[in-house]
């Protein structure tokens, strides 16, 4: 009997091999480092675990043997998608209950590189790292959008190349990280694929922040159809962002600081929130928050999925509700940069004051839709862009077979945005001058 139990246990603990042939850890997985509201002293670590008891050991990067490590215990919630409307009963999110664990690391030292690992039932996860913000000084972050298609060959190498070239402490994605949120294999591919001996190095060394795309609302297929959740259930159990957003969109709307930049995520994806109560809730929250936080930042970067000034709008909710609602608000608060995706076409505006090109040096917002950081691309519909005077650069990703990511260098005087393709060739660059002291 004992033999059977120990054999069963060892089978559970063995890594499984996903469809790409890459190993996936089956007992401590989906490990993501997300920002606390103030990243000078805090981050949150979210992971899924097969065991009820686990802990995070963390220490400074110099202490490679974890000799001076501290221990933090998670809040653990036994979770699966059972009981959730429209969910697939064949997804491992449904069939495999797991503990969703959240650990808030607080009282960290600013401007410090940390390492951590997770321990559960004598099993030890791979080592991950992050760097707390200094609160000031020159720094950089990288931005992606629409990784999307499961197992595509662009995304993970693109993340690796951006990390190698720019060593960013922070990465942002403006939604559609996966194609089908209820299909757990797609999250395994993105977050857990073993792409080196030390595990998934793509997500191993930065703080990650994202807004949900419409695909974060897609449940897994039921009889060949993909119904949509009304909440981004799996996103909310994989990422633990600061709980300071609009009440009806907690975790998908939120803000945090990294150095002198205020980052704000908005949730504009489910058609239920393109208008109506939840949409209005975020509008109110955004304005109250911006009024309250006035004077605490040098730059404002908003990231949300649907492109407010896309080059050829493919989503009617944008033109009808989202654009007229939000551009006057971004104008009012003089937002510096809005990162988005959704259209799968590259489009980058001039500096816009409202819905027109800005004539004042210290006024205006750049809208950057990188289109795709994966292999889902759309062709540009030129009939829709004939009268386009708002965009300085538009690129047909499908025709050119390109995928993009950006590095943003931040100094006291400016933010310099450089956009690269998957071959690490520079495709666009623009500079956002500081508007605040
Ligand atoms: Fe997308």
**Does residue 6 form part of some domain?**
no
For residue 308, the CA-to-ligand 1 centroid distance in Å is 14
Cα 154 to averaged position of ligand 1 atoms, centre (Å): 15
Residue 8 has pLDDT above 50, yes or no: no
Domain count, the chain: 2
Model pTM score? 0.93
Helix (H, G, I), strand (E, B) or coil at 421: strand
Provide the strand spans (E) within 95-180.
98-105, 113-120, 123-124, 128-131, 139-144, 170-173
DSSP 173: E
- Ligand 1 centre to CA of 174 (Å) is 10
Cα of 342 from ligand 1 centre, angstroms: 4
Distance 341 CA to ligand 1 centre (A): 7
- The single residue listed with the structure tokens 């386009």 is 388
> Which residue, of 78, 110, 131, is where some domain finishes?
131
CA of 283 to the centre of ligand 1 (A): 23
Question: Do 70 and 57 touch, CB atoms closer than 8 A?
Answer: yes
107 and 154 inside one domain: no
Longest Cα separation, the chain: 79
Domain-located, residue 321: yes
Query: Which range (21-25, 83-87, 155-159, 249-253) has the least confidence?
Result: 21-25
In the chain, pLDDT over 90 holds for what percent of residues?
A: 79
Q: Which tens digit of pLDDT belongs to each residue from 151-161?
A: 999 999 999 99
Q: Which residues are in the CB-under-5-Å shell of ion ligand 1?
A: 146, 176
Q: 239, 34 in Cβ contact below 8 A? A: yes
pLDDT of 198 above 80: no
Q: What is the pLDDT of residues 84-136, one digit of tens each?
A: 989 999 999 999 999 999 999 999 999 999 999 999 999 999 999 999 999 98
Query: What's the CA-to-centroid distance between 176 and ligand 1, angstroms?
Result: 5
The pLDDT value recorded for residue 310 is: 83
Q: What CATH code is carried by the domain that includes residue 84?
A: 2.60.40.380
For the cut 60, the answer to whether the pLDDT of residue 16 exceeds it is no
User: How far apart are the CA of 216 and the centre of ligand 1, in A?
Assistant: 10
- pLDDT for the residue numbered 120: 96
CA of 371 to the centre of ligand 1 (A): 8
CA R_g for the chain: 21
In this prediction, residue 385 has a pLDDT band, given cuts at 50, 70 and 90, of low
Residue 417 confidence (pLDDT) above 80? yes
* Model pLDDT for residues 259-298, shown as the tens digit of each residue: 999 999 999 876 556 678 888 999 999 999 999 999 999 9
Q: In which domain, by residue range, is 223 found?
A: 139-433
pLDDT at 386: 61
How close is the Cα of 372 to the center of ligand 1, in Å? 7
- Mean of pLDDT values over 27-39: 97
Ligand 1: centre distance to CA 426 (Å): 23
Which of 73, 97, 131 is where one domain is finished? Answer: 131
Whether 349 is covered by a domain: the verdict is yes
Q: Check whether residue 167 and residue 117 sit in a common domain.
A: no
pLDDT at 313: 65
Averaged pLDDT, 52-67: 98
Residue 11, in any domain of the structure: no
β-sheet bridge partners, residue 262: 257, 300
Domain contains 353: yes
The encoded tokens of residue 100 equal 């969703």
**pLDDT score recorded for residue 381:** 77
First to last CA, the chain: 71
pLDDT for residue 318: 86
* The domain boundary residue, chosen from 79, 97, 131: 131
222 in the same domain as 100: no
The closest of 288, 161, 273, 277 to 212, measured between CA atoms, is: 273
**Within a 13 Å sphere around the CA of 306, how many CA atoms are in the beta-carbon half?**
25
Residue 35 CA to ligand 1 center (angstroms) comes to 24
pLDDT tens per residue across span 206-236? 999 999 999 999 999 888 888 999 999 999 9
Q: Are residues 428 and 395 in the same domain?
A: yes
Q: Which of 310 and 416 is assigned the larger pLDDT?
A: 416
Please tell me the distance between residue 343's alpha carbon and the centre of ligand 1 in angstroms.
7
């Amino acid at each position: 009997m004992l033999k059977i139990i120990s054999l069963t246990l060892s089978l559970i603990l063995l890594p499984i091999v996903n469809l790409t042939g890459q190993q996936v850890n089956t007992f401590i997985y989906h490990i993501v480092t997300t920002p606390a509201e103030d990243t000078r002293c805090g981050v949150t670590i979210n992971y899924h675990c097969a065991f009820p008891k686990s802990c995070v050991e963390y220490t400074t990067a110099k202490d490679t043997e974890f000799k001076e490590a501290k221990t933090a215990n998670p809040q653990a919630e036994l979770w699966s998608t059972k009981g959730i409307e429209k969910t697939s009963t064949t997804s491992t999110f449904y069939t495999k209950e797991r503990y969703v664990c959240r650990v808030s690391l607080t009282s960290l030292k600013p401007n410090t590189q940390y390492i951590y690992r997770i321990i559960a039932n004598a099993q030890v996860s791979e080592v991950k790292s992050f760097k707390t913000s200094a609160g000031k000084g020159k720094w950089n972050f990288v931005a992606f959008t629409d990784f999307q298609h499961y197992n595509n060959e662009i995304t993970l190498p693109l993340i690796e190349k951006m990390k190698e070239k720019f060593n960013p402490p922070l990465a942002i994605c403006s939604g559609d990280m996966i194609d089908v949120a209820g299909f757990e294999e797609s999250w395994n591919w993105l977050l857990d694929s073993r792409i080196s001996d030390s595990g998934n190095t793509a997500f191993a060394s930065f703080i990650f922040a994202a807004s949900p795309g419409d695909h974060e609302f897609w449940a897994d297929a039921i009889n060949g159809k993909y119904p949509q959740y009304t909440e981004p259930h799996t996103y909310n159990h994989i990422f633990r962002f600061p709980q300071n957003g609009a009440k009806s969109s907690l975790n998908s709307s939120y803000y945090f600081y990294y150095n002198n930049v205020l980052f704000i995520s908005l949730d504009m994806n489910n058609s239920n929130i393109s208008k109506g109560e939840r949409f209005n809730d975020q509008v109110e929250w955004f304005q109250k928050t911006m009024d309250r936080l006035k004077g605490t930042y040098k730059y404002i970067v908003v990231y949300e999925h649907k492109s407010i000034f896309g080059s050829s709008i493919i989503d009617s909710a944008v033109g009808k509700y989202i654009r007229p609602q939000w551009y006057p608000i971004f104008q009012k608060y003089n937002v510096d940069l809005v990162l988005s995706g959704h259209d799968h076409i590259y489009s980058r505006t001039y500096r816009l004051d409202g819905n027109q090109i800005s004539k004042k040096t210290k006024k205006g917002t750049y809208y950057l839709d990188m289109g795709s950081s994966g292999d889902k691309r759309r062709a540009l519909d030129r009939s829709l862009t004939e009268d386009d005077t708002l965009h300085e650069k538009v690129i047909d990703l499908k025709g050119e077979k390109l995928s993009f990511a950006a590095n943003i260098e931040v100094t006291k005087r400016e933010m310099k945005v450089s956009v690269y393709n998957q071959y690490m060739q520079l495709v666009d660059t623009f500079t956002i001058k500081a508007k605040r002291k």
